[in-house]
Amino acid sequence: MNAIDSLFQRLRGEQRPAFMPFLTAGDPDLAFTTALLPAVATAGADMVEVGFPFSDPIADGPVIQASYTRALRHGLTLDQIFAGLGQVTATPGWTMPLVAMASYSLIWKKGPDAFLDAAQAAGLSGAVVPDLPAEEADALAQRCRDRDFKLILLVTPTTSPARAERIVRACSGFVYVVSVVGITGERAAVSDTVRGVVDRLRQLTDLPLCVGFGVSQPEHVRELKPMVDGIIVGSALVRKLERAAAESDRDAALMDVTNAVRDLSQVLHAR
């Protein structure tokens, strides 16, 4: 069974959502990433969405764009990312699923089969592909199904019902529910539209529904907890990676990110 399916099956029994931090691969470098992933797993992350840096982001706000730029400045390559992630997932006892957040341009350039083969060899369980239109997703979705590798697409508050139905048919593993209209980034409050989007999607699919974009505070996690299957936090954590690049004490920066993950994830464990 795919590790994502196993995770959500277990969490259904525990009656709580998954906590899913987003972290950029290679920011400030891959050595930091490979140290950070085990640290956040210990701190309470259930799954990590690993951002594959891309020079022309579509939905990413300034914090994640800056993180991608820092990573790419050192000439980071896909093969280096896969090698670094493979080093982590090969650790004895490693069980936490990793999911790539990767532009379809990266997948297309490497070749879909080659990308999926490399991703699975590195221990990844799926990929969020934010810029793949549902109308063009069938071929990649079939390749993923053949490998038991999960393809996750995005549904936004402005997605029409007909398109949402097509998107969830192409998805596997979970559906990424965008909480706001706009780009990634920290917000003061959870959007009022989230519950309606989630309720509509519950009528279309049995897949887990995981909410991201704008989620940054324990209060946001607490509010979303009763209505979703997973909560994704990105910019609030990625902002701390900038400190890792600037500070000489990388251990302190790593602890800063880890403590933030612990504070956010503990909300989901509270009864």
CA distance 46 to 191: 24
Q: Helices 112-121 and 138-147, interaxial angle, to 10°?
A: 30
The answer for 118, left when phi > 0, alpha when psi is -120 to 50, beta otherwise, is alpha
How far apart CA 182 and CA 70 sit, in angstroms, is 23
Catalytic residues: 49, 60
In angstroms, the Cα distances linking 253 to 75, 123, 142, 150, 239 are: 23, 26, 41, 32, 11
d(CA 206, CA 73): 41
At 222, is the secondary structure helix, strand, or coil? helix
The 3-state DSSP class for residue 136 equals: helix
Alpha helix stretches (DSSP H) within 47-160 = 62-72, 78-89, 104-110, 112-121, 138-147
- Interatomic CA distance for residues 69 and 241, integer angstroms: 12
Q: How far from the centroid of its chain's Cα atoms is residue 189's Cα?
A: 20
